Amino acid sequence: MYKIIILIFIITVVFIEFPAAGLEEGGSSFTYVGSKVCRECHGEDAIGNQYKIWAMSPHAKAYNTLLGEKASEIAEKYNIASPEKNSKCLQCHATGKGRVESIVKEGVGCESCHGPGSEYHKASNHVDYSSRENGYRRAIRFGMYPIRGIGSLKRRERLCLSCHTKERPCFPENPSSIYEFRIPIQTIDSLWKGDVNFRHPLRK
Ligand code: HEC
Ligand code: HEC
Ligand code: HEC
Ligand code: HEC
């Protein structure tokens, strides 16, 4: 009888503890590895070279922007000496709010939008050559944000607007400024900027 009770106890602990760890959305269980890890595969033309597309985009320059003159001007108003080291700026200008020192300079990297990749970056956790949907679903279980496709428009919008908000220290003071027109989600979700298409073409 005792053995059975102990066994039930162990099973309960295992089942309560284990799935809970995996369900935390982008929370403490998954960590950031940096865009260079994604490049190992997503730098291949065969699957669309999303790395190259990203590297040409403003997101890849978001950290460098904090080193510029304009950033200093803004920072001064908030009594911030070094915007490139301050969480009030890095919060949106770097992956994972800039808390991971080794990848701060990549700016807004892959994982800012796709979720912390410590588990899903492994091929076995996010690639299924016979069924892309299966691969996608598995990746989500391992920390990838579900932001793809029309069905996820709302989630995607929330993601983009979490940084593209008027409540940011760098939002221009002059409301008639052209910057205001950059904010609406229609602009953001068009995913185009000059010659850069954020849509990352991939096999259909
Ligand atoms: C070991 C190689 C490999 C690594 C490393 C890798 N990926 Fe992938 N990823 C793939 C392949 C292959 C696919 C599926 C391509 C296809 O279906 O044509 C894919 C698919 C994806 C998808 C699309 C999922 C879907 O179906 O919509 C996203 C998003 C993605 N990867 C993001 C990332 C990010 C972010 C990283 C880095 C944290 C990363 N990947 C690292 C190989 C890799
Ligand atoms: C982690 C914060 C963050 C998230 C999430 C984010 N962005 Fe950005 N985005 C930025 C920053 C910071 C810049 C400015 C980069 C620079 O020029 O230094 C930027 C710039 C841009 C630009 C260029 C704007 C311009 O006019 O120069 C576009 C377009 C854009 N983002 C689209 C998107 C879309 C679409 C999404 C959601 C899928 C998104 N962003 C999610 C932080 C973010
Ligand atoms: C809530 C998110 C967020 C925070 C916090 C934030 N930024 Fe930004 N920043 C953005 C986004 C998004 C853009 C791109 C806006 C666009 O082009 O549409 C941007 C753009 C910029 C630009 C380029 C603006 C231009 O006119 O060319 C500078 C400079 C800048 N930020 C500096 C800072 C500094 C300095 C701080 C800290 C005091 C800071 N940001 C904090 C989200 C943020
Ligand atoms: C600013 C946010 C943002 C950044 C940064 C970003 N992505 Fe994406 N990515 C998206 C969004 C949004 C989609 C889904 C677009 C859709 O479904 O229309 C996507 C789709 C993808 C897909 C699937 C493409 C497809 O055809 O459906 C892959 C693969 C991918 N991203 C890889 C990457 C990699 C690798 C990086 C870094 C080198 C990266 N992404 C950086 C927002 C981003």
**Is 90 exceeded by the pLDDT of residue 104?**
yes
Q: Is 196 helix (H, G, I), strand (E, B) or coil?
A: strand
pLDDT tens, residue by residue, 22-73:
333 445 589 999 999 999 999 998 888 889 888 988 899 999 999 999 999 9
At 143, phi and psi to the nearest 5? 110, -5
Which ligand sits nearest to residue 64's alpha carbon?
Answer: 2
Q: What pLDDT score was predicted for residue 8?
A: 54
Alpha-carbon span 177 to 151, nearest angstrom: 33
Q: Is 158 helix (H, G, I), strand (E, B) or coil?
A: helix
| Ligand 3 pocket, residue 70 CB under 6 Å | yes
Which ligand sits nearest to residue 78's alpha carbon?
Answer: 3
Alpha-carbon span 163 to 183, nearest angstrom: 10
So where are the chain's domains? 24-148
High-pLDDT (> 90) share of the chain, %: 47
The rounded Å distance from CA 17 to ligand 4 centre is 32
**Is 60 exceeded by the pLDDT of residue 191?**
no
- Closest by CA to 171, choosing from 89, 56, 82, is 89
Q: What pLDDT score was predicted for residue 37?
A: 97
Which residues have C-beta within 8 Å of that of residue 83, sequence separation ≥ 6? Answer: 66, 71, 72, 74, 75, 89
Which 8-state DSSP code applies to residue 19? Answer: H
| DSSP sequence for 8-23 | HHHHHHHHHHHHHHHH
Q: What pLDDT score was predicted for residue 26?
A: 44
Mean pLDDT of 82-95: 97
**What rounded mean pLDDT belongs to the chain?**
79
Alpha-carbon span 198 to 46, nearest angstrom: 17
**Locus of tokens 């009594």:** 79
**Residue among 32, 33, 36, 42 to mutate when testing ligand 1 (max atoms within 8 A of CB):** 42
Q: 197: which strand partners? A: 192
**Is 50 exceeded by the pLDDT of residue 201?**
no
| Contact criterion met (CB below 8 Å) for 59 and 107 | yes
Q: What is the dihedral of CA 89, 168, 67, 191, to 10 degrees?
A: 110
